[in-house]
Structure 1
Amino acid sequence: MSFTVAIVGRPNVGKSTLFNRLVGKKLALVDDTPGVTRDRRPGDAKLVDLKFRIIDTAGLEQSAPDSLQGRMWAQTEQAIDEADLSLFVIDAKAGLTPADETLAEMLRRRGKPVIVVANKSEARGSDGGFYDAFTLGLGEPCPISAEHGQGMLDLRDAIVTALGEERAFPPREDVAETDVDIRPTGAGGGEDEESEPTYDETKPLRVAIVGRPNAGKSTLINRFLGEDRLLTGPEAGITRDSISVEWEWRGRTIKMFDTAGMRRKAKVQEKLEKLSVADALRAIRFAETVVIIFDATIPFEKQDLQIVDLVMREGRAAVLAFNKWDLVEDWQAVLADLREKTERLLPQARGIRAVPISGHTGYGLDRLMQAIIETDKVWNRRISTARLNRWLESQQVQHPPPAVSGRRLKLKYMTQVKARPPGFMISCTRPEAVPESYVRYLINGLRNDFDMPGVPIRVHFRASDNPFESKARKRR
């Protein structure tokens, strides 16, 4: 992106609505409740012919530095320092407030370009607030309506004027002809279709961090990044938006999503918490590997088990992380107890990787990342059809399919139809009659014989086509 823009202002002036308008998606949570946004959320914005990076921030609230509001404002200040330009959003309908004047003075001292954005200018009686914005001394305000998309062309012109055309439109780098591969797909490859593809360890990896409130999700990500990127504290439920951050681990790009804590459904009553949980579910579906954070001091609560079951049903690769390991006294006894409970309480995730960690001290983070990579390899694994059919034949020799209604089932053919997660199709007689116990037997055999622990495995049965069926119908 050519430049970075921060959206700042007091609470409930429409910053997140403007953010969603510029990125073209409803990424940030929007509600009438003031103070919905807490962490700074980055995104890729497009405004007519401008492309830039934009940061949504928390609203200014005067409070002590060590309070939650004070820590939220510290995050906003970091966004202002990081940005090349600030969009100072005011509520034209409500007019200026002392908080607006305080923020304007702070922005003026920073010495960076600022555009005053008079939002909600479509409302009746907003003219007074628009003209009051001239008194801030930050130049001519730009009237817009983030909700309805009005004034976006004026905002684009204001950004170009504030930064200059050279900064707003950087020269494009021409791609050399030698860098373009014009060979047709598959030309010169000579690869065997039955060969099992190798795992691409350079591809960026999407990881979601989920768990109950106050389990230490944001603290863990901050430890990975080596900075206070996400808002943390002793209060439960600080994180609301699902925030994505990028960093590198051993040369590989990792895109990690911090999510809101997920409580039992019966306890989620407020609209804002429902929105936060829905955002966390979207992050799970978007991710490839999901790390479920357990509090090692109170592990295996009912909600923990439900979160693991949800991740497995969504088909994601899952890793368990027992956080707050620095608070555990008898490591060996607790570790043995956690292993026993993992085997007993999570039969649907047999062999799932579990790592004791401490987001506060950094203990076990390398082992956690290694477990994430290994689980993602299994999640992407493909097995050749020849190996699968040899395996299926041996499984039927060891444990033949049962006879249902006096007729024995016949499993004829097996192939892998998809990966991410691994999915298999078995051609057989009477697929609707295959008992669930035999399906579990086959899934457990796949886990053990092909080394596929801890990932969801799908096995589907299909009746084989009868080439003489149409002829038999004609005789009738």
Structure 2
Amino acid sequence: MTMTVAIVGRPNVGKSTLFNRLVGKRLALVDDRPGVTRDRREGEARLGHLSFRVIDTAGLEEAKAESLEGRMRAQTEAAIDDADVLLFLIDARAGLTPTDRAFAELARRSGKHTILVANKSEGRDAVAGALDAYALGLGDPVELSAEHGEGMGELVRALVQCFPDDDEAFDEEVEERDGERPIRVAVLGRPNAGKSTLINALLGEDRLLTGPEAGITRDSIAVDVERHGVKLKLFDTAGMRKRARVEDKLEKLSVADGLRAARFAEVVVVMMDATHPFEEQDLRIADLVVREGRALVIAVSKSDLVRDQAGIAKKMREEADHWLPQARGMPVVMVSGLTGDGLDRLVKAIEQTYEVWNRRVATNPLNRWLIETTTDHPPPAVSGRRIKLRYITQPKSRPPSFVLFCSRADALPESYIRYLVNGLRATFDLPGVPIRLTLREKDNPYAEKD
């Protein structure tokens, strides 16, 4: 069984920097200000010959349970309960603080094996702080610099003592067969649209931090969900406001992290507030998804607030096709993370849209369709000369991409290209996914050659 290591400590001691160092990627947002991390983030770490699951946590702070800081602390305590080993970080340059002492006692009471880490130990200023760490009674501190990678060998030696002797703790790699690989799904939307609440409802637990405050989520957090045999890897992302309103550096980093999650996803669920759907920013986000070539699902959240409105589902369907013709037919699901309504329909829609996104159409049916389409509605003549559409093929899927060989590709009107795309979507049942149609001219054997 894979060991789980949680990184804990007060704010701004370098927990996320160490997490990024262990997973070998810049997954967690890092900034000089304290309190950047709010949700707990998980990753697969490799250090020396060890492989393990690592959890980055929010900084431990004393606060009332109902406050945002109190809910962040609850998430950290849940990570401590889930972990086999704790890496308790202190800032060696700042020395021990009363907060360090209070939470060292929390780590001790947890009963988990705790490794004391004196981070930011580069330079002479850190010597005194590292020596002070002995006063916590958690054993010899491991002195390292997560930012510069110094002292990681000492951390390996400390971790080895906590791992079982069996071979599973070393060089363990989980390889998923193609048929069992979860569908990668990013959840995007404006702030406070209900993204984290929806994912918590799918999980059946308060895994992600939620609340009435807008902009709680900062990092893009990945969680695994299996519902009715469908495996999903869901990425919760920060709310995206209009670019003109984003001035804070940390918010820019959060939005960039969300966009990166969308680019690496296969299906993107765009959350819209049922009380204010299809606002300009919602349409911008959906258009971005289509331009990135991802499959699109619209989730209209907080449906419990509009359930009394007659024909609301039909109205949302019509609005979606009107405002987003570039992904006509995309699933529109009314959901409520609070009551759990529509969750099964959403998972089914994700599965079906993923199948469409991967669909391949054989060349023969494509060319029969092309003959029928051009017979019914031939391309217009440009400058008195006809444009010949010779044949069509699909070289790739994800999203469905077609190549149309023709004469005078640059002269074919944009309106006729849209007509062809709409025909492909309707004939071969490709709703809710972007369709790429590339025009190509065959070489003219009679053209003058150099």
* Paired residues, number: 446
Counterparts of 1:15-414 in structure 2 under 5 Å?
Answer: 15-161=15-161, 163-164=162-163, 166=165, 170=169, 202-414=180-392
Q: Distance in 1 between matches of 2:5 and 2:60?
A: 17
Aligned equivalent of 2:175: none
Helix, strand or coil for the counterpart of 2:115? Answer: strand
- Aligned-pair CA distance for 1:349: 1.7
User: Which amino acid is 2:110 matched to?
Assistant: R
Give the TM-score taking structure 2 as reference length. Answer: 0.96
1:449 and 2:448 equivalent? no
Instruction: Give the C-alpha shift of residue 226 in structure 1.
Output: 0.5
**What are structure 2's unaligned runs of at least 5 residues?**
173-177
1:202-244 per-position Cα deviation (integer Å, ceiling 9, x unaligned): 4421111110000100000000010110000111000000000
* Letter of the structure 2 residue corresponding to residue 64 of structure 1: K
Structure-2 change in CA distance of 1:365 and 1:393 (3 Å): same
CA distance in 2, matches of 1:284, 1:402: 38
- 1:75–1:172 Cα change, 3 Å: closer
Q: Distance in 2 between matches of 1:86 and 1:275?
A: 28
For the 8 Å contact 2:273–2:301, the answer to whether it is kept is: yes
- 1:203·1:252 contact (CA, 8 Å) conserved in 2? no
CA distance in 1 between partners of 2:241 and 2:404 (Å): 39
Q: For 1:254 and 1:69, how far apart are their aligned partners in 2?
A: 29
Shift of 1:172: 8.2
Distance 2:78 2:135 in 1: 26
Aligned residue number for residue 184 of structure 1 = none
* SS in structure 1 at match of 2:165: helix
Q: Given the superposition, is the C-alpha separation of residues 95 and 473 from structure 1 closer, same or farther in structure 2, using an over 3 Å criterion? A: closer
How much does 1:33 deviate? 1.2
Supply the RMSD in Å over aligned alpha carbons. Answer: 1.7
1:334 is displaced (CA, Å) by 2.8
- Note the C-alpha offset of 1:171: 7.5
Query: Contact 2:265 / 2:294 at 8 angstroms: preserved in 1?
Result: yes
Secondary structure of residue in 1 paired with 2:333: strand
Shift of 1:65: 0.6
Cα distance, 1:62–1:402 mapped onto 2, change above 3 Å: same
- Other structure's SS at 1:441 match: helix
- Work out the CA distance in 2 between the residues paired with 1:151 and 1:208: 36
**Equivalent residue in structure 2 for 1:462, among 413, 434, 440:** 440
* Contact 2:163 2:169 (8 Å CA) reproduced: no
Whole-angstrom distance in 2 between the partners of 1:211 and 1:264: 11
- CA–CA distance in structure 2, aligned partners of residues 385 and 131 of structure 1: 72
Identity %: 62
Q: Which is further off, 251-260 or 408-417?
A: 251-260
Runs of at least 4 residues off by over 3 Å: 167-173, 200-203
Task: Name 2:393's counterpart in structure 1.
Answer: 415
**Gap change, CA 1:270 and 1:152, over 3 Å in 2:** same
8 Å contact kept, 1:242–1:259 = yes
Give, in whole Å, the separation in 1 of the partners of 2:2 and 2:298.
39
SS of alignment partner, residue 240 of structure 2: coil
Query: Which deviations, in whole Å up to 9, do the C-alpha atoms of 1:343-396 show, x marking residues without a partner?
Result: 221121211110111110000111111111111111100000111111101110
Partner AA of 2:51 in structure 1 = K
Structure 1 CA distance for aligned equivalents of residues 85 and 265 of structure 2 = 31
Q: 1:45 to 1:69 in 2, by over 3 A?
A: same
Q: Is the 8 A contact 1:91 1:118 kept in 2?
A: yes
The one-letter code sitting in structure 2 at the alignment partner of 1:127 is V
Letter in 1 for 2:128: G
Quick one: structure 1 residues 364 and 201, their matched pair in 2 at CA, closer, same or farther if it must change by over 3 Å? Answer: farther
